[in-house]
A and B are shown apart, each in its own frame.
Chain A
C-alpha cells in the first residue's frame, strides 16, 4: 500500500477541494443490499414517517462511505487510511425523485503526525446542513 501523496509536500491548513456525491433512492437500495442494513427507514417512506422521520433517510454509513471515498481518492490507495471516525450529526433526507440529495465533502489537513501520517478533518454537508461532525481520517503518506 502506497499513498500517492508525499508527506513532505503536505502542509497543515492545506485544503482538499469539495466534491459532490449524489444519493438517490436507488443508491440506498443498493447500499442496503451490499451492507446488509435493511432498516426500513432507509427505503420505506411509510415506515420512516410512522417512526417520526420527515422521509426516507440515507444510511449514515452511506454518507461515511462517501467521506471515505473522498479520502481514498486523495490518498490514492485505500490501504493508506489507518483510522477513520465520524459522528452522524444530522440526517440526509432522500426524496423520491430522480435527483435525490447531494452530499458535499471537503477536507483540510489538520495535523502532521510522526511516521509520515496526517490527520484530515472532513466536512460533509447536505444543502446547508452539516451531516457529519468530528469527522477525521488518519492517512499514511509516503
Chain B
C-alpha cells in the first residue's frame, strides 16, 4: 500500500532516557562477533582515553530501532511491516557513546518516496544526552517491498 505522504515532517519523542549499560554493549559486541577489548574492558577503554567502555559504531540501532519503530507502526502511515527490509543506514557521531550515557531521541519522518514497486521511508533520529548534549544523528531508510505496486 502506498504510504501516507502527510506523515513527512511528523516527529516522535523525545523518548524516555535510554541508559547505555556495559552489559548491553558487551552483549551487542558478542552478537556481532567483535572481540575488541574497548567494548568489554573498562581499564583498556580508560587507557585509550574513554570514560568507560565504548559502544560499537552501529550500537545506536539498539535504541533508534525502538524509537523509529514507533513511527513504523503509526496507524495511518500504512506500513505493512511484514514487507519491510532495511534500505539505508547512516550514523553521524558527534562523540562516541559510552556506558553510563543517558540518551534521549527525537525521530522525524524526513522523506517518503517511491522507487520502482517499492515505498521508501526515511527516519532521522537526533540523539542527545538528557542534558541536551548532541551525541549522534541516525538516518534509517526502510523499504516496503511492493508497497507502490
Shortest distance from the beta carbon of B91 to any chain A beta carbon, whole Å: 5
CB within 8 A of A36: which of B55, B62, B90?
Answer: B62
- B86, A59: Cβ atoms closer than 8 Å: yes
- Interface size, A (range): 35 or more
Given contacts A21-B33, A52-B145, A72-B36, contact A61 B89 (CB under 8 A): yes
- Interface size, B (range): 35 or more
Nearest A-chain residue to B90, judged by Cβ:
A85
Complex contacts, B28 vs chain A, CB 8 Å: 34-35
> Which of B30, B87, B90, B92 counts the most A-chain CB atoms under 10 A from its CB?
B90
Shortest distance from the beta carbon of B33 to any chain A beta carbon, whole Å: 7
Given contacts A60-B89, A65-B58, A81-B57, contact A31 B66 (CB under 8 A): no
- B62, A78: Cβ atoms closer than 8 Å: no
**A-B contact sample (17 more), CB < 8 A, given A79-B38, A79-B48:** A1-B49, A1-B50, A21-B33, A31-B32, A35-B31, A36-B62, A59-B86, A61-B58, A61-B86, A66-B33, A71-B57, A72-B36, A83-B92, A86-B88, A87-B87, A88-B87, A91-B85
Name B's A-contacting residues (CB within 8 A): 24, 27-28, 30-34, 36, 38-39, 48-50, 54-58, 61-62, 65-66, 81-93, 95-96, 139, 145
